[in-house]
């Protein structure tokens, strides 16, 4: 039976860590905060930026300034320090050929997401690309999926694909199961603990799981 499949973007379809981490470092340096190692900064990939900057020591009332500094580089350079994961085009084409409907649900601002998807020739596989708003009125994965459902209708026979527990929990809030992917920036253990129904360790395995 054909499914409606929601895909996260960062860490699921594309490896966006380099650009995101470079921009996060710039913003932390702006406030004179310590710069953790790049492995630690991987947590900036996926969740809303405002919340993550607060966790790294930016005062709550300065978090929007941190996001603005981050975006000053990201919107011109950082968003393209990014590459699709090997095999992603072939996997998406196979799903399309099998009759599935593909949608993007990302916490990245929607306009930037569309630019990135267009740049890497990924948009052609998707019926709709849904993302966050710049003013944070829609920021979490739960918010984005709610917006997507308003446009798309029922969540019946729908599944989420993502690389973090945020994807699992955001989809679960709408009673949508999630298949986690191991190649992204989240923890497999955290995704399992959050309730992921399965974990894919390769593009081929993801394709098999989505066709069950």
Order the strands of the 178-181 sheet from edge to edge: 128-132, 101-109, 4-7, 158-162, 178-181, 198-200
Q: Of these residues, 8, 10, 15, 163, which one is catalytic?
A: 8
- The count of C-alpha atoms lying within 13 angstroms of the C-alpha of 116, restricted to the half-sphere facing its C-beta, is 29
**Which H or E run includes 70?**
helix 63-74
Q: Is the dihedral of CA 175, 84, 200, 38 positive or negative?
A: negative
Is 8 in the active site? yes
Strand-pairing partners, residue 198, are 179
Residues annotated catalytic, as ranges:
8
């Amino acid at each position: 039976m054909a499914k409606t499949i929601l895909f996260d973007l960062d860490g699921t379809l594309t490896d966006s860590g380099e650009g995101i981490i470079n921009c996060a470092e710039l913003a932390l340096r702006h406030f004179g905060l310590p710069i953790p190692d790049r492995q630690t900064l991987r947590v900036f990939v996926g969740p809303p930026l405002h919340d993550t900057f607060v966790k790294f020591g930016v005062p709550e009332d300065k978090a929007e300034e941190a996001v603005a500094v981050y975006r000053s580089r990201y919107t011109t350079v950082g968003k393209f320090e990014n590459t699709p994961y090997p095999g992603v085009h072939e996997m998406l084409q196979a799903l399309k050929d099998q009759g599935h409907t593909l949608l993007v649900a990302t916490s990245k601002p929607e306009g930037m997401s569309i630019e990135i998807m267009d740049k890497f020739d990924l948009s052609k596989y998707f019926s709709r690309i849904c993302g966050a708003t710049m003013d944070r009125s829609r920021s979490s994965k739960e918010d984005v999926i709610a917006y997507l459902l308003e446009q798309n209708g029922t969540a019946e026979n729908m599944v989420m694909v993502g690389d973090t527990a945020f994807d699992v929990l955001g989809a679960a809030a709408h009673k949508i199961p999630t298949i986690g992917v191991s190649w992204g920036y989240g923890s497999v253990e955290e995704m399992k603990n959050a309730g992921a129904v399965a974990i894919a360790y390769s593009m081929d395995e993801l394709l098999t799981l989505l066709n069950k």
